[in-house]
């Protein structure tokens, strides 16, 4: 054991500050960026927003500080007992000679811790009613303009657009490029949502990214993002990760799609399907119209049959007339001949009758004449009698008293008359 006083002078002696300074340099060059995993011990948050906490495991402990500039990007509230991973650089807090980690990022370590943070936030927002159905807005049936918040460098946008193209969607897609993972990604997402919400044409917003670990998807569990979605005017579809991934933006959104492709199917109706629908309606329309026309046509035909054009009617009458005429003519001729024969017979009969009558009359006349002649006064006159008549009145004298002297008389003899004048009665009478 060397004698304290005999000991040789140390080759070099440095001051505390110098040592600490040298140490800080070494730390800065060798431990400038590292990830440390441990359980959070005591946590203290300063008024300025800095986080002070211990990271520990079974046998060691490390002081950590996260300054406000980094702390505001925290995905969760660090709590004692949480298993976390901290990224940062090692440094020495010179005043106290204490080793510390200047953390610029802090993440729950492992699914378990993240799950715990997730469940805690979910529970809190659920109790607040942020996820309740009464806040859900209806999606437009066929939006003309769709907003999309995603990363232009991600796979999700390609899946989404491919699905839209497959459905031959007719719409305008307005994309806001936003980081979809990492610290502070939620800020870009919220900005994108607000930008699209304020856009006059956008009628639905899709928030999407491809699958990833719970940690990758953590931005979509960020309380600020959940609240932003909750407060938007425009309906939001959240399509984050794969089928199994559930994030809080899915719960708060108006509709959840399992994948970006499913979101496209939700947002745009299938054109082929609509075409079939329109075609089906067209068929029904045309079929119905045909049936109506056929029915009316039948009615019309039935009516038409009852309706005869005057010319047609005239024609029919003409035909009947000609037929009647053609039958009439021979009949007339026959009739005429018959009538003529009859007439001839009648005439002959008449002539014969007339002759007979004439002969009979002649005979009767002769008889009558003979009888007449026998009775005629003229015949008496032939025998020498005369008829005396007064000239004045033609009266036949039957008595001498009927003619006074001086009366003029007409004496009718057989061959003529004599004029005589009465001179008076005869002596011998």
Which residue, 276 or 322, is less far from other proteins as judged by CB?
Answer: 276
Q: Does 191 bind other proteins (CB under 8 A)?
A: yes
Among 23, 74, 161, 378, binds other proteins (CB under 8 A): 161
Using the contact rule CB under 8 A, the part of the chain among 100-108, 188-196, 240-248, 411-419 near other proteins is: 188-196
* Closest CB 273 distance from other proteins, rounded Å: 10
Q: Does 172 bind other proteins (CB under 8 A)?
A: yes
- Three-class SS of residue 55? strand
H or E element, residue 74: none
* Closest CB 304 distance from other proteins, rounded Å: 15
Give the sign of the dihedral formed by CA 119, CA 124, CA 127, CA 128.
negative
Which residue, 296 or 346, is less far from other proteins as judged by CB?
Answer: 296
Rounded CA separation 246/251 (Å): 8
81: left (phi over 0), alpha (psi -120 to 50) or beta: left
Which residue, 273 or 336, is less far from other proteins as judged by CB?
Answer: 273
Q: Does 157 bind other proteins (CB under 8 A)?
A: yes
Give exposure, 141-173, as e/b (b: 16+ Cβ within 10 Å): eebebbbbbbbeebebbebbbebbeebebeeeb
Which residue, 288 or 313, is less far from other proteins as judged by CB?
Answer: 288
Instruction: Show the CA angle centred on residue 214, arms to residues 208 and 220, nearest 5°.
Output: 40
- Three-class SS of residue 235? coil
Using the contact rule CB under 8 A, the part of the chain among 121-129, 268-276, 312-320, 356-364 near other proteins is: 268-276
Which residue, 39 or 197, is less far from other proteins as judged by CB?
Answer: 197
Q: Report how many residues bind other proteins under the rule CB under 8 A.
A: 38
* Closest CB 157 distance from other proteins, rounded Å: 7
Q: Does 168 bind other proteins (CB under 8 A)?
A: yes
Interface residues for other proteins in 43-82 (CB under 8 A)? Answer: none
Which residue, 61 or 289, is less far from other proteins as judged by CB?
Answer: 289
Give exposure, 174-202, as e/b (b: 16+ Cβ within 10 Å): bbbebbbbebebbbbbbebbebbbeeeeb
Instruction: Show the CA angle centred on residue 352, arms to residues 347 and 358, nearest 5°.
Output: 120
Q: Which residues pair with 88 in a beta bridge?
A: 34, 103
307-316 own/partner pairs: CB under 8 Å, 24+ apart: none
Which residue, 40 or 262, is less far from other proteins as judged by CB?
Answer: 262
Other CB atoms within a 10 A radius of the CB of residue 284 amount to 10
Interface residues for other proteins in 296-325 (CB under 8 A)? Answer: 296
Using the contact rule CB under 8 A, the part of the chain among 48-56, 59-67, 118-126, 195-203 near other proteins is: 195-203
Q: Does 278 bind other proteins (CB under 8 A)?
A: yes
Among 19, 94, 281, 365, binds other proteins (CB under 8 A): 281
Q: Does 152 bind other proteins (CB under 8 A)?
A: yes
Q: Does 147 bind other proteins (CB under 8 A)?
A: yes
Contacts of residue 411, defined as CB under 8 A and 6 or more positions apart, other chains included, come to 386, 387, 388, 417, 418, 419, 420
Which residue, 163 or 403, is less far from other proteins as judged by CB?
Answer: 163
Other CB atoms within a 10 A radius of the CB of residue 60 amount to 8
* Closest CB 144 distance from other proteins, rounded Å: 8
Q: Residue 120: which of 84, 65, 86, 78 has the closest Cα?
A: 78
Q: Which residues of this protein are in contact with other proteins, per CB under 8 A?
A: 141-142, 147, 152, 157-158, 161-162, 164-165, 168-177, 191, 195-196, 198-199, 271, 274-275, 277-278, 281-282, 284-285, 288-289, 292, 296
């Amino acid at each position: 054991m060397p004698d304290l006083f005999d000991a040789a002078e140390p080759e070099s002696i440095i001051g505390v500050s110098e040592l600490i300074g040298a140490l800080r340099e070494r730390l800065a060059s060798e431990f400038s960026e590292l990830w440390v995993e441990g359980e959070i011990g005591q946590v203290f948050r300063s008024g300025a927003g800095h986080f002070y906490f211990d990271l520990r495991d079974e046998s060691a402990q490390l002081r950590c500080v996260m300054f406000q500039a980094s702390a505001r990007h925290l995905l969760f509230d660090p709590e004692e007992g949480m298993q976390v991973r901290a990224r940062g650089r090692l440094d020495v807090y010179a005043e106290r000679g204490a080793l510390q980690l200047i953390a610029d990022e802090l993440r729950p370590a492992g699914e378990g811790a993240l799950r715990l943070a997730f469940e805690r936030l979910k529970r809190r927002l659920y109790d607040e009613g942020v996820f309740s159905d009464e806040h859900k807005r209806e999606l437009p049936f066929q939006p003309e303009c769709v907003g999309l918040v995603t990363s232009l460098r991600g796979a999700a946008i390609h899946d989404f657009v491919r699905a839209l193209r497959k459905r031959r969607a007719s719409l305008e897609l307005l994309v806001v490029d936003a980081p979809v993972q990492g610290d502070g990604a939620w800020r870009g997402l919220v900005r994108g949502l607000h930008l699209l919400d304020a856009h006059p044409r956008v009628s639905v917003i899709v928030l999407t990214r491809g699958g990833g670990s719970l940690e990758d998807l953590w931005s979509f569990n960020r309380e600020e993002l959940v609240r932003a979605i909750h407060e938007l005017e425009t309906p939001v579809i959240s399509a984050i990760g794969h089928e199994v991934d559930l994030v809080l933006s899915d719960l708060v959104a108006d509709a959840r799609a399992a994948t970006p492709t499913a979101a496209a199917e939700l947002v745009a109706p299938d054109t082929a399907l609509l075409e079939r629908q329109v075609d089906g309606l067209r068929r029904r329309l045309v079929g119905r119209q045909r049936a109506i026309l056929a029915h009316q046509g039948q009615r019309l035909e039935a009516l038409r049959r009852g309706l005869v054009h005057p010319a047609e009617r005239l024609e029919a009458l003409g035909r009947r007339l000609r037929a009647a005429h053609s039958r009439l003519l021979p009949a007339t001729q026959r009739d005429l001949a018959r009538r003529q024969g009859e007439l001839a017979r009648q005439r002959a009969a008449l002539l014969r009758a007339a002759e007979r009558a004439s002969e009979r009359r002649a005979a009767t006349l002769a008889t009558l004449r003979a009888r007449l002649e026998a009775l005629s006064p003229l015949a008496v006159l032939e025998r020498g009698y005369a008829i005396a008549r007064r000239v004045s009145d033609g009266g036949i004298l039957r008595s001498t008293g009927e003619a006074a002297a001086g009366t003029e008389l007409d004496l009718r003899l057989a061959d003529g008359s004599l004029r005589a004048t009465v001179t008076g009665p005869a002596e011998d009478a």
